[in-house]
Structure 1
Amino acid sequence: MSRGGRLPCPRDSALRRAAFCGNLAALPSHLVPGGRSVRVFISANPEDTIAERNALREHVYPKLREFCRENYGLEFQVIDLYWGVETEEWDSPELQKTRMKLLEDCLKTSAGPCFVGLLGEKYGSIRIPGEVESSEFEMIIDAAVEAKLETRLLEEWYCRDENAVPPAYYLRPKSEMLKNYHNTMESSANSMNESKWQDIAEEIKRIFKTAVKLLYEKGKMKHSQAKRYLSSAIEDEFDFALGKQTPAFLKKCVCYIRKIANIERFVKIPEMEKYMDVTYTAGKFMRDPEALEKLIKLRDEFIPTIVASSNLRVYTSITHCDMKLGYSQDVENHYIEGLGKQFYEDMIDIIQATVQQNFDTETDLLYDEVLQHSSLCKTYSSFYEYRCEALNIVHKYILPSKVGHINPLIIYGGPCTGKTLLLGEVAKKAYMWLQEEMGPESDPVCGPKLLSRALGYITMSKSGLSEMELEDILALDNSVMDELNEIVRQKDFEISPNGKVGIISRGDENINVLDLQSGKLRVVHAPGIIWRQRLSRDGRYLVYICFRSEDDDDNGAVSSLTVMRLADALISYLSQAKAWKILIRRAALPDQPKSLR
């Protein structure tokens, strides 16, 4: 068996044929792509590391991408899922589940460094469980009642699924529980729902925390069980990435620790709550002692223990606050400048030390390319839980059409509405849909093809791309596409290497699933770079609009409202071609998204 648990795959093998035909169901779960890219997972609390991660994204990642391309022909990709996600979604069970899955993928598949931890003075909030086994949930309810807590909120927000094995309680989606949760374009509705959800989330955490601690103290719950409810996301990620790893593996990981001297003195400054865990007790603000205790165990006990038995790189910086302003902008900028330089040097060192080892093993580059995208599609599909109208429409669109001309299909919506998960599910099921339509005996090579290509994977939307770099990412790789066209040996199966954006394009016999998440684009360039050039060719393309945007700023970043206006402009443009349209609103997957025809 070759590295990474991959079975040798000769060019004529069944697995290779399945991969190139888009038959994801035929690819075993243990089959992982080889290390053809450097994929680094960033573990951090989102609140206190915004400036650091933004600086790395704008000034360091582009240089590392250029280094990897020029010296190794590899992509440098960073997984930082908090970018583009709204604040109230940071503790979402779905987001944390996705983070852990992508962390695992980075540890398994990166050709070089794979994990970077950014740890400051903030431990972070405990998580809201998205799923609890039935017996454990009922035990927690009983403990909460014993502690004289009101349990109505848990009983309302968690529903029992008798079909689960074992039976379990699941957190209901916010779109089902909060009124007008889909009205993402109405700021008043947004603000009201966000405030209401924050109150609900904090109360749910308080109930779980109190009940679980009581059960643990009475010996009714093991430490490993209790930890699932009492740990922050960053502790889970550090433990998963660094615990029980070999010294050789830990050479691919780095931790940067930022300590702020005498930070407790500045607890009354409102802005400092971003940098430490604060609680309000006995009429005054103070540093949360319980969160501090957990932080010390993680930072001053767990990490040093790992260092003592390995070559894990750990850097600790101590910064001093301004006496009046606390952790001021100047103080933060000084730390960030040093972090950027050290981060770049460490990534270069690790890449040079580890990437060549992966090159020493002969690999099938094209097969690995397809596996990379198939693996990502399967990951996204695993988080798709709700069948909705949008999936039915795409299903209908993909099936062979008796009409000669195929119009474009457009899927669009705001951040976190499930577009990527929906397309992952489409990529997974499209082959099965076609087999059902054409018959089980149809030849997967001579019949329709499904090509899944997730452009830039998930993090290119959050990497601060220049216009030239954006063009590089949006362009399809000529050599890979040429070889793939040669393999399928279909004269009418052609993929333009100059295409810019697409999710599903189809001719009479071929279906291509592409995915792109574009980041902060300038409004003036968005139509020219993405939409018009792609759609002006033959009109066979499904366009996927997925902006991970922030509020408008001086740099012309695209806001959510601007995105919807641009989407409306695109739809108006495509209406001349009689395009199909699907609008997926925020968190609409559990319900029925609106379909525009």
Structure 2
Amino acid sequence: MQSIQSIDILRGHCDDISGVRSKIVRVFLSSTFSDTLIERDSLIDTVFPKLKDYCREKCRLEFQYVDMRWGIQTESSNNHSEVQICLHEIELCKKYSIATNFVVLLSHRYGSRPIPATIPATLFELLYKVLCSNDNDKDDAQLVAQWYQLDSNCVPSIYVLRPISSVLSDILSSDREKMKEAEREWRKLSNRLRICLRKTATKCFERGQIQKDEYDHFFISITEKEIVEGILKASDANQRTLCFLREIEDIHDHLSDSKAPKYIDIDYSADGKAIVDSEAENLLNNLKYSRIPNGLQSSNIYSYKVHWTSNGINRQDHAAYIDQFTKDFFHAIKEQIDRCVQSHISIVSDPLQHEILEHAIQCKTYVTKFHGRIDVLHRLEEYVMNETENRACIVYGDSGCGKTSVLAKTAIEVLKWWPNRSVSVILRFLGTTPSSSTIYKTFLSISEQICKLYNLSMEIYPDVLQLRHQLETNLFLQIPPNEYLIILLDSIDQLETDAYDCQWLTKSFPKNIKCIISTLPNHGNILSNLKYLINYNQSSIENIQHLLIFVPPFEIETVERIYNTWLKVKQRLFVRQWMKEQIEIIPLFMKLVFDIICTWHSYDTIDDQLKTCRTVDDCIRYLFNHLQSKHSSILFRRALSYMTACQNGISQNELEDVLSLDDDVLKGVFEHYIPPIRRLPGILWTRIRNDMDEYIMEKEVDDSTFSFISLVYIQIIASLKYFHFDRFEVY
């Protein structure tokens, strides 16, 4: 007997579903870098390949790991966004991983404690006032005012640390000597800023003017911030996180060794003698022996004791420890995977239910961002409520105009339009899943859903026209007359070309079934073929007009309302100076621009390139340039070049393979660290994939899943910008 939840999913009533369906185990690996190099390399060598195989072969899952030694670009260091990037990666791991999502390795180093990249305005102004009140601190107050500037676009307002290059331009110099000199100068300045901010924060905390969490903002390390986000704030930490603690028992006896500073936080006495940094040690001990044990059960914490050698921790002298560590790591994550997968087994084992959920989650995402289109929805409501109309309704408009969001909203609203009826919704965003990548698989899936909904039986025919005939002459007719069904098929243009003749579409539906489909207006004669099927005739356009619904661009007033709503969610304020020059905008253009303006600070000026963005093409180029600077430029260019070169898309494994054979890509990626296996870390493509998530889809080709750029606009620009002009030799 089916559960109520299963029935609701089959009926398309998915209001309470999670916002994410994932087949990924994605683990963020947190630690300080220099002291855990051997452990990390051992994981890459022996453990991660085994976990990849286990996930793929036993659970049909993809295993990914996030190691922040890769992918932090120079620009991120320049604008102080490293911490934000790390915390965002943890957030993504928690969001997408169905099992373990965070593992921390700790020993004797507390980790880097950079000055805050942002400070809440009320806190900053208090600190600045205290600094200014003391004549001895006037120089420090001036330094703080020079480096922090108010961003009133953020709600509530914050002070933002200026990019290093805004004062020390040589930090980005191609001249290595100039760059090194700028780095030395920045270390001096940042140390002054760190000391004065901590001293002032301590004074305010002792006076009771600020809270403990505000005080901690200036003292705790990046690693502790990661642990807070990954473990201490997680409600399911015991099911999805792990901690590995390594103690070097005699490290304090060897502080003067040349390698010791890589393994323990060192300070120096007045006479130059190496001593332990007591402040860092106290913070670390509180983290290891208080905060983590209070937030994580003991069975999730693994402890090891080793002895120091003059070569630090290495595979030769510490082989037994490394062997035990890697075994524990593998089995601990394997156990968490097994337990978490078991709780998802009922959904995973039902391919149809999984398929329905995939589309329901997409629907939920689109509806969350839906605004306006009242006139379009009204026309769709009239169609649905028209009991004499038995033909399909066609929604059409240019790429990026919002057709998909309209159909998603319709899937939700139809339950309100038919409030007193038993209504089921079948929704497919075509081309977004392997089972919706061809018209045959789509019809097979829809037929199976109808059979499960109404307890019917069906034949599995090898041809889509046979499936259509079965629907028309059997399945549709067996649906009880008091049951209402609406079928929504979005983006026919995303199917293979054999679907473009639309002969698979039923010409006349029973009274209790409605069908709405969407397409581009000028793609493969799809719209013309659809018009023919619904008996479109120019001489009787009045009788057919209600079946052809055009989705137009937005007017500027609507755009501003939508942006204000979106920015409120992002806790940002709207910036009007650029938008006033626009006349009408399609949603794709809006989305591209929104991703830009939501990062603006109130003190920013609009860059010259953005001022020239008047079309979707312009914005796509701007987006690509931004992603090139965010990720490795050569990696981004080559990845999109390979993707656009493959007409049927490319699998993730294929893309990683070909990128791993590209020496230019690997040289750019392994700028700061060379791993034991010379292969592109999969997480680097995954980050690009996540940043382009709304523009990349998956489909099935020859029983394999391939990724491809979904929107025609973006396909064309990517091909022109990268495939045709980024020429390189392939051997």
Given the two structures, how large is their TM-score scaled by the length of structure 2? 0.51
CA apart distance, 1:73: 1.4
Q: Which residue is 1:54 aligned to?
A: 41
C-alpha distance in structure 2 between counterparts of 1:527 and 1:165, whole Å = 35
Select 2:163's aligned residue among 147, 150, 173: 173
C-alpha distance in structure 2 between counterparts of 1:128 and 1:374, whole Å = 42
Indicate if the aligned counterparts of 2:25 and 2:61 stay in contact, CA closer than 8 A. yes
Provide structure 1 residue ranges, at least 5 long, that are not aligned to the other structure: 16-27, 379-427, 452-475, 497-505, 559-576, 583-597
Match for 2:113: what amino acid?
Answer: I
C-alpha distance in structure 2 between counterparts of 1:371 and 1:270, whole Å = 58
TM-superposition CA deviations, 1:323-367 (whole Å, max 9, x none): x44445634555433322211111111111221102235785346
Select 1:45's aligned residue among 16, 32, 39: 32
CA apart distance, 1:173: 2.3
Give 1 or 2 for the bigger CA radius of gyration: 2
1:214 equivalenced with 2:214 (yes/no): no
Select 1:330's aligned residue among 290, 309, 316: 316
CA apart distance, 1:508: 6.6
Q: Which residue is 2:720 aligned to?
A: 579
C-alpha distance in structure 2 between counterparts of 1:168 and 1:533, whole Å = 40
Query: SS in structure 2 opposite 1:54?
Result: helix
C-alpha distance in structure 2 between counterparts of 1:133 and 1:35, whole Å = 35
Match for 1:68: what amino acid?
Answer: C
Match for 2:338: what amino acid?
Answer: Q
CA apart distance, 1:103: 2.2
Match for 1:174: what amino acid?
Answer: I
Query: SS in structure 2 opposite 1:316?
Result: strand
Distance 1:221 1:374, change over 3 A: farther
Q: Which residue is 1:297 aligned to?
A: 286
1:350 equivalenced with 2:350 (yes/no): no
1:549 equivalenced with 2:694 (yes/no): no
1:240 equivalenced with 2:229 (yes/no): yes
Q: Which residue is 1:131 aligned to?
A: 118
Greater CA deviation, 94-103 or 361-370? Answer: 361-370
TM-superposition CA deviations, 1:297-342 (whole Å, max 9, x none): 11122233345xx4541111111012x4444563455543332221
Match for 2:169: what amino acid?
Answer: K
Greater CA deviation, 344-353 or 366-375? Answer: 366-375
CA RMSD of aligned residues (A): 5.3
Aligned residues: 453
Indicate if the aligned counterparts of 1:158 and 1:172 stay in contact, CA closer than 8 A. yes
Query: SS in structure 2 opposite 1:251?
Result: helix
CA apart distance, 1:227: 1.3
Q: Which residue is 1:23 aligned to?
A: none
1:94 equivalenced with 2:81 (yes/no): yes
1:535 equivalenced with 2:676 (yes/no): no
C-alpha distance in structure 1 between counterparts of 2:320 and 2:241, whole Å = 24
Q: Which residue is 2:151 aligned to?
A: 161
Match for 1:357: what amino acid?
Answer: S
Please identify which structure carries the higher helix content: 2
Match for 2:212: what amino acid?
Answer: H
1:69 equivalenced with 2:56 (yes/no): yes
Q: Which residue is 1:317 aligned to?
A: 304
C-alpha distance in structure 1 between counterparts of 2:339 and 2:40, whole Å = 25
Indicate if the aligned counterparts of 1:41 and 1:116 stay in contact, CA closer than 8 A. yes
TM-superposition CA deviations, 1:111-146 (whole Å, max 9, x none): 212221111110112242222122211222244454
1:282 equivalenced with 2:270 (yes/no): yes
Match for 2:720: what amino acid?
Answer: A
Distance 1:108 1:371, change over 3 A: farther
Query: SS in structure 2 opposite 1:81?
Result: coil
C-alpha distance in structure 2 between counterparts of 1:249 and 1:530, whole Å = 37
C-alpha distance in structure 2 between counterparts of 1:366 and 1:180, whole Å = 53
CA apart distance, 1:259: 0.8
C-alpha distance in structure 1 between counterparts of 2:102 and 2:394, whole Å = 39
CA apart distance, 1:218: 2.3
TM-superposition CA deviations, 1:354-401 (whole Å, max 9, x none): 2110223578534665799999x99xxxxxxxxxxxxxxxxxxxxxxx
C-alpha distance in structure 2 between counterparts of 1:495 and 1:271, whole Å = 60
CA apart distance, 1:152: 3.0
C-alpha distance in structure 1 between counterparts of 2:64 and 2:256, whole Å = 39
Indicate if the aligned counterparts of 2:150 and 2:157 stay in contact, CA closer than 8 A. yes
Indicate if the aligned counterparts of 1:82 and 1:90 stay in contact, CA closer than 8 A. no
C-alpha distance in structure 2 between counterparts of 1:537 and 1:189, whole Å = 46
Match for 1:50: what amino acid?
Answer: L
Provide structure 2 residue ranges, at least 5 long, that are not aligned to the other structure: 381-392, 403-431, 443-487, 498-519, 525-587, 593-619, 650-654, 660-664, 681-717, 724-731
C-alpha distance in structure 2 between counterparts of 1:557 and 1:282, whole Å = 47
1:270 equivalenced with 2:411 (yes/no): no
Query: SS in structure 2 opposite 1:279?
Result: strand
Match for 1:156: what amino acid?
Answer: Q
C-alpha distance in structure 2 between counterparts of 1:449 and 1:81, whole Å = 36
TM-superposition CA deviations, 1:82-129 (whole Å, max 9, x none): 423269957975232233233234335432122211111101122422
1:226 equivalenced with 2:215 (yes/no): yes
Greater CA deviation, 277-286 or 86-95? Answer: 86-95
C-alpha distance in structure 1 between counterparts of 2:38 and 2:357, whole Å = 35
Distance 1:532 1:311, change over 3 A: closer
Distance 1:80 1:325, change over 3 A: closer
Query: SS in structure 2 opposite 1:231?
Result: coil
Q: Which residue is 1:81 aligned to?
A: 68
Identity %: 22
Select 1:257's aligned residue among 224, 245, 254: 245
Query: SS in structure 2 opposite 1:259?
Result: strand
Distance 1:483 1:173, change over 3 A: farther
Indicate if the aligned counterparts of 2:232 and 2:292 stay in contact, CA closer than 8 A. no
CA apart distance, 1:39: 2.2
Match for 2:89: what amino acid?
Answer: L
CA apart distance, 1:290: 0.5
Match for 2:188: what amino acid?
Answer: D
TM-superposition CA deviations, 1:254-311 (whole Å, max 9, x none): 110011112122222332212111123313222100100111111122233345xx45
Query: SS in structure 2 opposite 1:270?
Result: coil
Query: SS in structure 2 opposite 1:330?
Result: coil
C-alpha distance in structure 2 between counterparts of 1:122 and 1:68, whole Å = 32
Distance 1:483 1:223, change over 3 A: farther
Select 2:345's aligned residue among 356, 359, 373: 359
Query: SS in structure 1 opposite 2:305?
Result: strand
The residue correspondences of 1:425-464 to structure 2 (distance < 5 A) are 446-448=396-398
Distance 1:66 1:142, change over 3 A: same
Distance 1:143 1:354, change over 3 A: same
Indicate if the aligned counterparts of 2:38 and 2:315 stay in contact, CA closer than 8 A. no
Q: Which residue is 2:578 aligned to?
A: none
Indicate if the aligned counterparts of 1:128 and 1:205 stay in contact, CA closer than 8 A. yes
TM-superposition CA deviations, 1:395-421 (whole Å, max 9, x none): xxxxxxxxxxxxxxxxxxxxxxxxxxx
Distance 1:168 1:271, change over 3 A: same
The residue correspondences of 1:111-126 to structure 2 (distance < 5 A) are 111-126=98-113
1:197 equivalenced with 2:317 (yes/no): no
CA apart distance, 1:491: 5.2
Indicate if the aligned counterparts of 1:116 and 1:255 stay in contact, CA closer than 8 A. yes
CA apart distance, 1:176: 2.8
Distance 1:557 1:484, change over 3 A: same
Indicate if the aligned counterparts of 1:134 and 1:167 stay in contact, CA closer than 8 A. yes
